[in-house]
């Protein structure tokens, strides 16, 4: 009886593999067709491995369309967003968790509200705000909201970490004559390094893939990020599916690589919020 | 120590940038949504205060009911597919003896890290009436079922919701797996020694112990469905006709295509209230204090 249960039901085991195919095959199919020509995609070999690897699809995605431009914009916006979010959130969380001032609990709760505000809902006032600050069609119009929207969650995670550190560390730093900035930079920051790594991954994924804000605030071709730039591909590329697949593969590469390399870190980063948000 | 940790300059320096940025970019627009929902406003002029007239108009708007219905369909699809499949996969794979666990986990999670645009473009290709993967599969199997999934008003909303369900299932799977793994082995073993079948043991023991995670998953899936926007924006543009409108999409069109900013924020305000009610209801329904480890 016991061993029968331990072995598990074969039907469920089979389902594990069937769903794995459903989950991954569309991506494999995309990768395959990024290396095929239309004839092979549509008629001769729609499902399988390309008979003839056509890397020229990648060359045409890069040379004829704005893929490198979008890619660089995504890199730029993402890097600044990650750095800005982490710096602001760590500072804020440290101050709210460790320093002594009135209203710090309220301040922390105030920032956490941001986790419950869906971006889409405040799109209209946000667009007006950006227009009133004359920021429409600038990098700042993406970077500033991205930082503001990621700051709630990041500072909440850092806050939790800072609360677990014993008070003696600061006391001895104080007795040794360090000032508060040195204590923060030399003693506290190294202690929260693991959570910084987690949040870097989280913010990187969020910023790299962000779509609604970019859609609203950016219309200038030269400033588009990948998720925005690729949105009208279907129309442009109906004649050339291979190049379309190539562009999509290029756009997905950074996040997929990060995931494959740090899969457990990424899953942790993505699911760390569940404890609080429900 | 008090002086050391109460350094006013340091507190201001550490705190103020975040508070100011957050207030201007997140809180101010959130309040504006409710305030502006009572204006006849084109986004340029000061607008005219009309109190609840926008809401009256909203409740008489047929498009509102289409959007509401689609939001609910979307939410149910996400909740059933993501949490249902996620549960089966997570509980099955939590058995340490399954081979290829690492590979399976990675396969389920990969779509989560892709951008919504790539996923939608990929599915546009898969749904394509002539060359799409799905029709090709039916063709290969010899089933005469070829159709254009997204141009049929009856199937379009389901087809769009399925894409979102497919992309984010892995997220729910990861949450549920983490919860299942955190349950002490003894609980399940005790149930098994008592002679419970495996799935019965899960149903009676594991799943109730995961109530907190389920609460989060349901809030996420349902509010995610009600808020759905990017999928229709990229895949259908709300069409065919208005068959795949949701409230967020309706808001977007009102403001950025028709220039009715006040009316658009009314739809947004309604959406916020709807999501709050759902979150509250789920928290009430899945009681917190019954669970004691």
CA distance A176 to A170: 10
Instruction: Please tell me the distance in Å from B104's CA to the nearest CA on chain A.
Output: 6
Provide the mean pLDDT of chain B. 88
Residue A48 DSSP one-character state: S
- Looking at the domain covering A66-237, what would its CATH class be? mainly alpha
Question: Which residues lie closer than 8 Å to B183 by C-beta, 6 or more apart?
Answer: B206, B209, B210
The helix or strand, by DSSP H or E, that contains position B39, with its residue range, turns out to be strand B39-40
Q: Is the pLDDT of residue A44 over 90?
A: no
The per-residue pLDDT for range B149-182, each reduced to its tens digit, is 888 888 899 999 999 999 999 999 999 998 888 8
Please check whether residue B278 is in contact with residue B216, taking contact to mean a CB–CB distance below 8 angstroms: no
CA distance B147 to B249: 26
Give the model's pLDDT for residue A274: 57
B287 CA to centre of own chain: 22
The per-residue pLDDT for range A186-226, each reduced to its tens digit, is 999 999 998 899 899 989 999 999 999 999 899 898 999 99
The per-residue pLDDT for range A45-103, each reduced to its tens digit, is 878 888 888 888 899 888 877 889 999 999 999 999 999 999 999 999 999 999 999 99
For B37-285, the fitting CATH number among 3.40.50.740, 2.40.30.260, 1.10.3720.10, 3.60.130.10 is: 1.10.3720.10
Q: Which residue has the higher pLDDT, B73 or B191?
A: B73
Other C-beta atoms within 10 Å of B36: how many? 24
Give the model's pLDDT for residue B207: 85
Which residue is it, tokens 């799943």? B207
**Own/partner long-range contacts of A52-55 (Cβ < 8 Å, ≥24 apart):** A54/A242
Cα B145 to Cα A60, A262, B152: the distances in Å are: 35, 41, 13
Stretch B265-278: mean pLDDT? 92
What angle in degrees, to the nearest 10, is found between the helix axes of B156-181 and A10-33?
A: 120
Domain regions of chain B by residue span? 1-27, 37-285
Please check whether residue B156 is in contact with residue B240, taking contact to mean a CB–CB distance below 8 angstroms: yes
Give the model's pLDDT for residue B188: 73
pLDDT band at A4 (very low <50, low <70, confident <90, very high): very low
CA distance B30 to B36: 10
Which chain A residues touch B255 with a CB distance below 8 Å?
123-124, 127
A124/B85 CB distance under 8 A: no
A111 touches chain B (CB under 8 A): yes
The helix or strand, by DSSP H or E, that contains position B49, with its residue range, turns out to be strand B48-49
A152/B98 CB distance under 8 A: no
Stretch A8-28: mean pLDDT? 89
Provide the mean pLDDT of chain A. 87
Stretch B106-116: mean pLDDT? 94
Give the model's pLDDT for residue A49: 86
CA distance A205 to A227: 12
> Counting Cβ atoms within 10 Å, is residue B57 exposed (0-12), middle (13-18) or buried (19+)?
middle
Please check whether residue B39 is in contact with residue A127, taking contact to mean a CB–CB distance below 8 angstroms: no
Give the model's pLDDT for residue A70: 93
Q: Tell me which of A15, A34, A71, A124 to substitute to probe the interface with B (most B C-beta atoms closer than 10 Å).
A: A124
Cα B258 to Cα A169, A216, B39, B126, B254: the distances in Å are: 59, 14, 16, 32, 5
Which part of chain A has CATH 1.10.3720.10? 66-237
pLDDT band at B293 (very low <50, low <70, confident <90, very high): very low
ipTM above 0.90, yes or no: no
Tokens of A192: 């929260």
Q: Is the pLDDT of residue B198 over 70?
A: yes
Alpha carbons within 13 angstroms on the beta-carbon side of residue A88 total: 25
CA distance A266 to A252: 15
CA distance B224 to B270: 15
The per-residue pLDDT for range B209-261, each reduced to its tens digit, is 888 889 989 999 999 999 999 999 999 888 788 899 999 999 999 988 888 99
The per-residue pLDDT for range A93-141, each reduced to its tens digit, is 999 999 999 999 999 999 988 888 888 888 999 999 999 999 989 999 9
Please check whether residue B264 is in contact with residue B255, taking contact to mean a CB–CB distance below 8 angstroms: yes
What angle in degrees, to the nearest 10, is found between the helix axes of A241-261 and A56-64?
A: 100
Which chain A residues touch B264 with a CB distance below 8 Å?
124
Give the model's pLDDT for residue A2: 43
Tokens of B96: 């340490």
How many residue pairs bridge chain A and chain B with CB atoms within 8 Å of each other? Answer: 294
Most confident of the following: A19-23, A111-115, A243-247: A19-23
B85/A144 CB distance under 8 A: no
Instruction: Please tell me the distance in Å from B266's CA to the nearest CA on chain A.
Output: 10
B122/A248 CB distance under 8 A: yes
The per-residue pLDDT for range A156-174, each reduced to its tens digit, is 989 988 988 888 888 888 8
Question: Rounded to the nearest 5 degrees, what angle is found at the Cα of A79, between the Cα atoms of B227 and B164?
Answer: 25
A250 touches chain B (CB under 8 A): no
Please check whether residue A135 is in contact with residue A144, taking contact to mean a CB–CB distance below 8 angstroms: yes
pLDDT band at B289 (very low <50, low <70, confident <90, very high): low
A99/B7 CB distance under 8 A: yes
Q: Which residue has the higher pLDDT, B55 or A232?
A: B55
Instruction: Please tell me the distance in Å from A125's CA to the nearest CA on chain B.
Output: 5
Give the model's pLDDT for residue B97: 78
Q: Is the pLDDT of residue B292 over 60?
A: no
- Please report, rounded to a whole number, the percentage of residues in chain B having pLDDT higher than 90: 53
Give the model's pLDDT for residue B129: 78
B227/A100 CB distance under 8 A: no
pLDDT band at B291 (very low <50, low <70, confident <90, very high): very low
Please check whether residue A8 is in contact with residue A223, taking contact to mean a CB–CB distance below 8 angstroms: no
């Amino acid at each position: 009886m016991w061993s029968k249960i331990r072995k598990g039901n074969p039907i469920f085991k089979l389902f594990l593999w069937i769903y794995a195919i459903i989950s991954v095959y569309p991506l494999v199919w995309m990768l395959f067709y990024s290396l095929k020509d239309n004839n092979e995609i549509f008629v001769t070999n729609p499902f399988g491995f390309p008979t003839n690897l056509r890397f020229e699809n990648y060359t045409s995605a890069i040379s004829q369309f704005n893929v490198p431009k979008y890619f660089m914009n995504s890199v730029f916006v993402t890097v600044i967003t990650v750095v800005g979010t982490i710096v602001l959130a760590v500072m804020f969380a440290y101050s709210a968790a460790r320093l002594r001032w009135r209203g710090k609990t309220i301040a922390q709760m105030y920032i956490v509200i941001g986790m419950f505000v869906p971006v889409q809902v405040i799109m209209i006032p946000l667009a007006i705000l950006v227009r009133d600050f004359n920021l429409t069609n600038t990098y700042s119009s993406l970077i500033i909201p991205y930082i503001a929207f990621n700051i709630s969650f990041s500072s909440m995670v850092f806050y939790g970490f800072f609360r677990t550190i014993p008070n003696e560390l600061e006391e001895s730093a104080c007795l040794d004559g360090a000032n508060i900035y040195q204590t923060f930079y030399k003693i506290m920051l190294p202690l929260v390094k693991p959570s910084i790594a987690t949040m870097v991954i989280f913010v990187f994924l969020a910023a790299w893939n962000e779509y609604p804000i970019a859609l609203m605030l950016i219309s200038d071709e030269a400033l588009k990020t990948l998720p925005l730039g690729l949105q009208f591909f279907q129309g442009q590329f109906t004649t050339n599916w291979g190049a379309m697949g190539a562009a999509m593969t290029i756009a997905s590469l950074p996040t997929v690589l990060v995931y494959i390399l740090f899969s457990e870190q990424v899953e942790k980063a993505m699911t760390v919020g569940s404890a609080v948000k429900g | 120590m008090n002086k050391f940790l109460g350094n006013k300059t340091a507190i201001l320096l550490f705190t103020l940038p975040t508070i100011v940025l957050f207030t201007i970019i997140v809180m101010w627009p959130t309040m504006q949504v409710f305030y502006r929902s009572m204006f006849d406003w084109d986004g340029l002029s000061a607008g005219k205060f009309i109190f609840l007239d926008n809401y009256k108009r909203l409740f008489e708007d047929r498009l509102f009911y289409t959007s509401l219905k689609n939001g609910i369909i979307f939410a149910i699809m996400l909740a059933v597919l993501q949490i249902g499949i996620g549960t089966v996969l997570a509980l099955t794979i939590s058995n340490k003896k399954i081979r290829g666990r690492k590979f399976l986990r990675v396969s389920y999670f990969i779509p989560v890290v892709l951008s919504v645009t790539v996923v939608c473009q990929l599915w546009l290709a898969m749904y394509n009436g002539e060359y799409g993967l799905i029709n090709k599969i039916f063709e290969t199997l010899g089933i005469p079922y070829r159709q254009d999934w997204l141009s049929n008003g009856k199937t379009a909303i389901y087809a769009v919701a399925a894409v979102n369900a497919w992309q984010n299932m892995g997220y729910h799977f990861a949450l549920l797996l983490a919860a299942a793994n955190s349950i002490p082995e003894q609980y399940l073993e005790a149930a098994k020694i008592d002679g419970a079948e495996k799935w019965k043991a899960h149903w009676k023991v594991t799943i109730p112990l995961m109530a907190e995670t389920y609460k989060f998953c349901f809030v996420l899936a349902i509010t995610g469905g009600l808020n759905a926007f990017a999928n229709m924006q990229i895949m259908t543009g709300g069409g065919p006709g208005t068959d795949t409108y949701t409230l967020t999409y309706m808001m977007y069109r009102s403001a950025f295509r028709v220039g009715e900013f006040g009316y658009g924020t009314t739809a947004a305000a309604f959406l916020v209230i709807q999501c709050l009610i759902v979150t509250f209801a789920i928290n009430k329904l899945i009681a917190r204090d019954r669970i004691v480890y």
